Each structure stands twice: as structure tokens, then as C-alpha cells.
Chain A
């Protein structure tokens, strides 16, 4: 059972990586002067949209087994609304955290917020897809030995690596190299993206490597 699961996981992750790569190349056909550094905000938006779309598609394809009780329309709508609210809240709380970390309060608000949106896309959207708007489940997954399936395990890894990537992305900012990518928040967004992609690559490999040790309570 596990090998097929891991294979599915790998394909899903490859799709996510592919969507990020597409977000770099596709816009240059439609937009003039598109480059990651110069029109950074545009790229951020496109990247977020692409990743969200891929995640949603994967969710719809991969999780059809909803019970009849849960398939009622009102339930779905409230769930969707809840998800949206969760997403927005995570964007705002990320924004607040960036400001607490020292991002300027009044200047570059749009840039900071788009970084928050990007990071939410990399972390909150997969969480919402996989766990639903259930805060306790999130806390459970993100504490030690809390994962109950390889999907949750991979979620742990990608989310943490996105965070770590963003965190590490802040390091070059004080260096006096004067490069364009050292400006706020470019290095952080790049760090987040690289971290996310690294997490996507690492998590199937790691799970494959440790498939003997990984025994989950539920299965």
C-alpha cells in the first residue's frame, strides 16, 4: 500500500514544482518586461495563483470519498467560507509576524503582504486542503509524532521547509553586497519558494527512505 501512496505523493509534488516553474516562464509570453526581480509583485501573484490552483485540483481529484452527510451543499459552502477566512487570517497573521520581525510598518506594505500571501499559499493552502479548517488538527500535525499518514508527514516537511526557507532568506538582507535581490522582501520570497520546492523534493524521498520506521496509528 505504501509504495503506491508514495508514488502518488511524488507525482503530486512534481506537479507543484512544475506549476512554480511554469509561473516563471509562462507570464513572459503574455507580459512585456517580465522578470522575477524587476516585476516581483506580479510574479508573486502569479506564483501564488498557480500553486493554489494546483493544490485545489489535486484536492478535488485525490479526495472524492466524502460521506453522504458531508456532501450537502450548505456544509460545503460553510466549509469553503471557513477556508477562505482561515486563509485570510493566516495572511494577516503572517503579515503581523513579518512586521514583528522588523519589516517596515508603513512603507512597503504591499510587498510585505504579498510575501505573506505567498507563504500562506505554500503552507496554509495545503493544510486547508488536507486537514480542513480544523485548528486542533493542525496543532496535532505540527507537534512531534503527530502525523498519521504520509500525506501529513509530507505536509509537515514542506511547511517547515517553507518557513525555514523564508527565515534563512532574511539573512542576506544586512550584507553590503548591494544586489537587487537583497531588497525586502525579494530574498525572503525567493527563500520561501526554494524552501517549498526543497520540501516538495525532500519529503517523498525522506518518506521512501524511512518507510520501514514510519508506522502510523491509524493504518
Chain B
């Protein structure tokens, strides 16, 4: 079967996406839980252990508190309460923490520090899988056992006000609720007013047992202006007022009923120095947890350093406090100070309940649970506990009982800690089988791509895909048989939970067939390459083709970048790598430009040598040898005669200045968004612009940027799309003005912030219009006339439609990124690529590098924190999953996508070689899949690294997403290529 190299590359990338998806499914462990939860429903609580004498206490202990109020403040960092900010802005809370009847802790949230997984962790006590981040916005109903569901089953009445996520997680659990949406990050007053307005009424009513308040405002302020903003202080004072109101009301009620209540102040996650959250810096992970109740003794102790506990401990504590069974998936341990004031027998009973629950969870999830030290400790403590109960029932002297009891208590606490720890560690159980299968698929695809480099980059740009070759059918069936046998063995062996095994037989069989087909293809490609190599070595004296410095740089840069991914710091600071590489690339281009300008045809003879070469098949052996990188071989093949036309006069000066212009643009963009980890706190232009004092400057900048975008894009548009573009960009400004990001000169003090839905939809209409015109032109050029001008026009219109969409989705301070990207593309096209006549492969890799750099110029990084989710809501009334995901993905990957589509434009308009596009597609696929494959192997080998969850896993998600985007780009390339060949 003969395939064009572009189509072949697109197929390869699509298969690779499947492989990566399989790997991801195996890499991100499913959360640990009870496999059979229905039968556990009616299970009676564990009775008090007793040896000999029978204890009469088999029921659950009674609740400690009659009412519980949880005040959850989104994004509240520990130093906002316990630090200087707390003293200054939260005087009442500080008073309670320091002198009041309270226990305060620093609760450590596990990454990903995003709201939904954190709420789950607080209420179920389990550790939600990392993959939950992806589902953060689309929170499905929580089916797991949680404090809320237990409370509801026990007939408690729960009232909830605050973040809508809760209502989605627990749809039928609240007797009364009012969900506020975290939809508009720019709104930080109304979200909280919507919670507080219910407060007076509900506090007076007193017909509830549990009240949950989730305040979003603080987190929104963090997202807008960071943790050092003056707005934070106001918000903290407001929260202090809320806390005081709730506490006074609870106290006054206690005076009447004489039963203690509990007030919990907690947070789901902290706030990074940049204001976001999601990663695992100490600022994001450390949250305050303050338990206030008149049942506790007055405080002593050192409040500057509250004890560190886990966030998951709250679920167990709340269950005990309400007299409920502990949620069965909870890995937390009871916060012991809460029950400290109780009699010894009750204390031990609580601890016993918690240990029993944890050891059951351990039994479910660990086959070798009997060897676990925590389980052994538990068994010992339980036996001692039985003895203690016997002594107690026999009414021994109280002093002996107390001493024994406190010893036992210590043992229980140790057991709890060990159990909790080993359960948390269980999270890092990988589904190795799926990971291996995914890796094999990806590696086979990569090998196939590499082996087909010489063929695919030949001037014909076609290659044989040996799918149906009968010679390999025997191998194919053998491999398939072996794989199926392996599959059966793996899946029937005990104690493994594999995703692949849970798949249906046809699906798993399909994967096996895929693997063996790929293996056969690889083998045949290898055999072919070897044969050709032998042939070539017999024909003597093939000319030594030398690479230009640029090729060497491209090669080294690609390999160096891949190698750098092995170090966590380089993953965190990957933007530095790309900035460094494109700077070096610009300098190399500069060298080339200067040489061609000043020395003329100095390197002429060499290229003549290349031109004399037989272009096809002359150098494949050499190429196969160095095939492990890319592409660059093409220069030996298709670089034309290098009589570089030396421009004269003004243009010559522009050519000489152009690399420096590009470098300057990159330097400006670099200081726009500080990203990464180490230097993320440095001041940058982006923060300066987004602060509320500089709204006027931001407006001017945004307006100028939009005008510049128009100027740069309209050059090659048709008149109709020019007009559409102008209106669209105007609409973008109106949208930004409507949601309050920028100002109109005539409305200085107008404060009404709307969602800007009309404006955004107005822009969408133009985006769709331009895209539609472009597609129409493309189709016309394909079907009706074989007109390459119409095709170029259509491609440019599609490109400008994407630019308009990006302009709408980018935050206003990021609009310069878009402008400069267009500018750099224009400069490079006119003054460097066109006169220097680089070949398609080099241009592709350069486009890829610039695309990556612009991905980071936008302010992205390799942590989840920097994904701008608000882009997914532009112009949408409610959360709609598919458009929101698409818009967010486009806004995040706008840099690479725009550069890739510029590549299509450039190649189809500038070069007249028909194979340029398929070469480009092949190179793009290769250059993108190389890092992914290498990274998968790296991550597998580093899976017990300390930073695997905080650094490497988010990067893995980014890589997977990037591959998906690449697949889309490659398919687009191939479609364009098809139109090309048909015309």
C-alpha cells in the first residue's frame, strides 16, 4: 500500500495518541476504595473489643456535638490566619486561635490543589486520583461514601451555601442550598454576598444539624491580583466578620441547649505566590484548620506553629463528632485533641473505631496486609484494649486503668499514623501492564517513523506501508498468539487491577492486533533499510554530505531538550530551555544571513555538490544511521541551487536587522509573563498591567494590539473577511470592556460588570464567518478551479479566523503575545526564510520551536496552575462541557497551533515543490512524537521519584494533550496536502 508521507505521519500520530492514552490510564492510579460497597452499607459498627467479659457497648458512640458549622474559605492559606495578615485582618479568629476554646492545625492538602478533589478529600477522607483535576469543572455526582452521605442517611439535616461544585457532588443531600457559580473569576464580592445573605435567616432558624458555607471570593482575588493584593485584607476582614457572626450565634444557642456545637474553619487549598493554585508549593498545600467549640479547653500552647495534619483527617473527625460511622474510603486519622476531654473509655472507643476502619481499607487494597506494621500494631492494640475493657468492667483502681489506658492510647495513635501512611502510599500503585502496552505502542510508532525517514523525505514523499505483505503473516500470527497468551496470564494472575483486563475482549484483542501489526511493519521497514544500506555500501564513493550549522543546531537542540526532561528543574523551567533554543536559533540565522549578505556565494561549491547528487535514494543509509533525530537530511536532497539573491538597499538593511528584531520581540515577551517555579514570583509586565491601578495602560495596550493584529492580518485577506476581521476585533475590545478588564475612554467610572455574552457571541459569529469563507475558498480551489491563489487565500482566511478566536480568548495583557507572534512570523517569512531558501524540514522544525516558545510566552507552564480556565467560559451562559474544553484547549495551545497553521500557509504559498507540505507534516509529527515517547520512558523509570506527582505528572498530562493537538494539526496538514495533490 502506498501512502503519502503526510498521511502516513498523521496515521502514526493518531495511533500514538491511543498509546499515550493507554499509558496515561495506567499511570494515573484509580483511587483506592472498597470494591464492593453495597454489601458494606448495612454493616454494623465494630463492637468494642473485649477478652472474656462481654462488653455491652456495641452501638456507635453518641455524637459529641449537636451542630456543626463548616466555614470553608477557598484559597485560604495558612499564613492568612496564623501569620501577620491574620493578626491584622482577622482579629476575632486570632483571638479564638490564641485564647479561645479551639484547636488549630495546619492541614496539608495533597496535590492537585484544585477545588473539587479537595472537597472530595475533605468529605470522604480519601485521596482523589490525580486525574480528577481534568474532571474538576464537570464534577459528576460523588458515589463514594462520605460524611455528607452518612449524615444524610442518619437523618441529619444539612444546609449548604456556596460553591456549586458541592451541589453537583451531593445533588440530593442538602435540605436547603444555594449554589454560587465560580464562573466569573473577576467577581469577588457578589459570590460571597450570595452566601452571607442567607446567614442571618439560617442561624436564627436552627432547624439544621450541619451548615456548610463555601466562600469563593478570596480565591478569585488571588486569581486576579495575587496574595499580596490589598483586596485580600478586606476579604479577610469580611470573613472574620462572618466567623464572628456564626460563632456568637452558636454560643447563644449553646447557652439555651447546653450541648456543645462545633465550628470548623478550613480551606480547600492555599494560594501560590502568583495567585493561582494546583501545584504543590508550600503556599498552595498548607491550609489552616481551626476547630472551635466550647467543649474544648481554653488554649495554652504555641499557636505560631500549629501541628501539621492531613486534610483527609477532617472527615474522620467530623464523623466521630456527629456520631456517624467513618466513611469507608477515608485514609485519615482522627484529630485526637478533639476527643481529649472525654473519658478514657470513650477515647479508646473512638480510636478503635478509626483503626478498625483503616485496617479494613488496608485489607481490601493490599494483598499482603498482614505484614504491614500498622496492621500488626493494630492487632496488638486491639488485644490490649480487650484486656483493658475487662479490667474496666471489673472495676480496677482508676489509677492503674488510667496509666494502662494512656499507654494504649499512644499505641493506638501510632497504629493510626502508620496505617494512614501506608494507605496514602498505596496511591502510588501503578497499573504497570497498561503502561507497558501503551509504551510499546508509542515506541513502535516512533521506530516506524524513524525508519521511514529516508523514504518519507525523498522528493516523491511517498512510502510503502507493508501492511498486507504476506511474508509477515506468519510473524503476525505468532506475535498475536504470544500476546494473547500473555494477556490471559496477566489478567488471570491474582492481585492485579489492570485497565486492559477490565476492557471487553474485542477491545483488548484490537490492542493486541495493533501491536503485532506495528511490530510487523517495523520489522519489514528495518529489513528494507538494511537491504538498502548493503546495496549502498557496495556502490563506492558516495559524497560526504555535511550539514549546515543550522541543521546541527536543530539536531542538538531537539536531543538536548528531550534529555533535559529527565531533570525535575528543567521540567519546571522548560520555558527557559525553549527561550534559550530560539535565541540560539535566531543567532544562527543571523550568522547565516550575514554570511550570505557579505560574502555572497562563499559556500557555493558545496551546494553545487549537493545539487549534482542523485536526489533519490542516494543517501538513505547514511540517513537511516542518523535517523534518530530528524529530518535535516532533506537539505542534501531538496535544497535548490543556492544562488541566494542578495537584496540591495533598504531591504538589505531590513534583512540584516531582522534577526535582531526577532530577538528583541522574544525578549519583550519573555518579560511579559514570568512563568515556571523558581522565578515565578519575580515582577513582570503582565502583573503590572493586570493590577487595578493600571487599567488605563492596559486598555491602551489592548487597543493598540488589536489594531496591530488587524494591520498584520488583513494584508492577505479578501475584502469581505477584512471587514469581518475589523468588526470582530472591535467586538473583542467591547467584550473585554463589558467584563471589566479594559475601559472605554468615555466611561471612566462605570462599574457594572456583565458576562459579556452578547459581545462574545458577536465575535464568534465573525470567527465562524471567516472560517466558513476560508473553507469555502479551499473547497472551491479543490473542486471547481485548480487555482492556487484561491487556495492560498482560503488558508490565510482560516488562519486569520484562528487569530481572531485567539484574540477573543487571550486575556488582554496577553494580546501583545499574539501581535508579536504575527510580527515575528511576518519578519521571518519576508526577510529570512524567503531569501535564504531553507527547506521544508528546517522551516518545520523552526516553526515547532517558535510554537513551543510562544506556548510559554503566553504564561503557560508545566504545572496545572497556569491553565486559564476562564477562556472556556467566554460567551457561554452555563457550563457546557464540549465547547468549554475545546475553547480552553485552544486558548492554551494557541501558540503552537497558530505557528503550525502559519507553516501551512507559508509552505503552500511560498514553495512550488508539491511535496513540501507532506514533508512538513512528517517532520512535525516526528519532532512532536520524539519528546513524548522519550518522556514516557523517563516517567516510567522515575515513577518513584519524589517529585513524580508535583512535577512530572502534570508535564505528562501536558505532553499527552500536546500530542492530541499535534494529531489534529497533522490531520489538517494532510487534508491540505490532499487538496494540493488533487489540484
Chain A residues at the B interface, C-beta cutoff of 8 Å: 97, 99-102, 105, 136, 139-140, 142-146, 167, 170, 173-176
Contacts and interface: CB of A to CB of B under 8 A. Distances in A.
Nearest to A99: B667
A167 B606 CA distance: 29
B678 A176 contact: yes
17 contacts: A100-B583, A101-B579, A101-B583, A102-B576, A136-B599, A139-B598, A139-B599, A140-B602, A142-B591, A144-B546, A144-B606, A174-B573, A174-B576, A175-B567, A175-B570, A176-B569, A176-B678
A105 B666 CA distance: 14
Contacts of B667: 99-100, 102
A143 B570 contact: no
Contacts of A144: 546, 603, 606
Q: Which 6 A-B pairs have the closest CB atoms?
A: A174-B573, A175-B569, A100-B663, A176-B569, A100-B667, A101-B583
B678 A174 contact: yes
Interface string B636-669: 0000000000000000000000000001101100
Given A100-B663, A102-B667, A139 B594 contact: yes
A105 B573 CA distance: 20
Nearest to B570: A174
B547 to A, nearest CB: 11
Contacts of B664: 100
A142 B591 CA distance: 9
Given A100-B664, A174-B576, A176-B678, 11 more contacts: A100-B663, A102-B580, A136-B598, A139-B594, A142-B591, A143-B595, A143-B599, A167-B584, A174-B569, A174-B570, A175-B567
B77 interface: no
A102 B579 contact: yes
B587 interface: yes
B602 A143 contact: yes
B557 to A, nearest CB: 11
Contacts of B579: 101-102
Contacts of B666: 100
B847 interface: no
Contacts of A174: 569-570, 572-573, 576, 676, 678
B214 interface: no
Given A139-B595, A140-B602, A143-B602, A102 B670 contact: yes
Contacts of A167: 584
A144 B601 CA distance: 12
Nearest to A174: B573
A161 to B, nearest CB: 15
Nearest to A175: B569
A216 to B, nearest CB: 16
Contacts of B602: 140, 143, 146
A182 B663 CA distance: 25
Contacts of A101: 579-580, 583
Contacts of B676: 174
A143 B603 CA distance: 8
A97 B599 CA distance: 23
Interface in B650-697: 663-664, 666-667, 670-671, 676, 678
Nearest to A136: B598
A36 B321 CA distance: 63
A136 B584 CA distance: 22
A167 B557 CA distance: 12
A102 B594 CA distance: 23
Q: In this complex, which of A99, A136, A139 has the most chain B Cβ atoms within 10 angstroms of its Cβ?
A: A139
Interface string B561-578: 000000111101100100
Nearest to A93: B660
Nearest to A144: B603
A100 B582 CA distance: 11
| Interface SS majority for chain B | helix
Contacts of A139: 594-595, 598-599
B587 A97 contact: yes
Nearest to A101: B583
Nearest to B586: A100
A151 to B, nearest CB: 20
Contacts of B595: 139, 143
Nearest to B679: A174
A97 B573 CA distance: 21
Give the most central of A102, A139, A146, A170: most B CB within 10 Å: A102
Contacts of B568: 176
A153 to B, nearest CB: 17
B266 to A, nearest CB: 31
A174 B856 CA distance: 16
Contacts of A176: 568-569, 678
Contacts of A175: 567, 569-570
Contacts of B598: 136, 139
Contacts of A140: 599, 602
A96 to B, nearest CB: 9
A167 B587 CA distance: 12
Contacts of B546: 144
A214 B221 CA distance: 68
B564 to A, nearest CB: 8
A109 to B, nearest CB: 15
B599 A170 contact: no
A105 B676 CA distance: 19
Contacts of A173: 576
Contacts of A142: 591
Nearest to B574: A174
A146 B664 CA distance: 30
A136 B567 CA distance: 43
Interface string B58-101: 00000000000000000000000000000000000000000000
A137 B595 CA distance: 11
Interface in B589-627: 591, 594-595, 598-599, 602-603, 606
A144 B573 CA distance: 35
A144 B606 CA distance: 10
Nearest to B568: A176
A93 to B, nearest CB: 10
Q: Which of A99, A142, A143, A144 has the most CB of B within 10 A?
A: A143
Contacts of B570: 174-175
A173 B573 CA distance: 10
B579 to A, nearest CB: 6
Nearest to A140: B599
Nearest to A173: B576
Contacts of B567: 175
Contacts of B678: 174, 176
Contacts of B587: 97
Nearest to A142: B591
B778 to A, nearest CB: 39
A174 B667 CA distance: 18
Nearest to B603: A144
Interface in B531-577: 546, 567-570, 572-573, 576
A97 B659 CA distance: 12
Nearest to B591: A142
Contacts of A102: 576, 579-580, 583, 667, 670
A166 to B, nearest CB: 11
Nearest to B671: A105
B332 to A, nearest CB: 31
Contacts of A143: 595, 599, 602-603
Contacts of A97: 587
B350 to A, nearest CB: 43
Interface string B839-860: 0000000000000000000000
A102 to B, nearest CB: 6
A170 B580 contact: yes
A179 to B, nearest CB: 12
A145 B587 CA distance: 20
Nearest to B667: A100
A176 B572 CA distance: 10
B362 to A, nearest CB: 35
A136 B600 CA distance: 12
Nearest to B549: A144
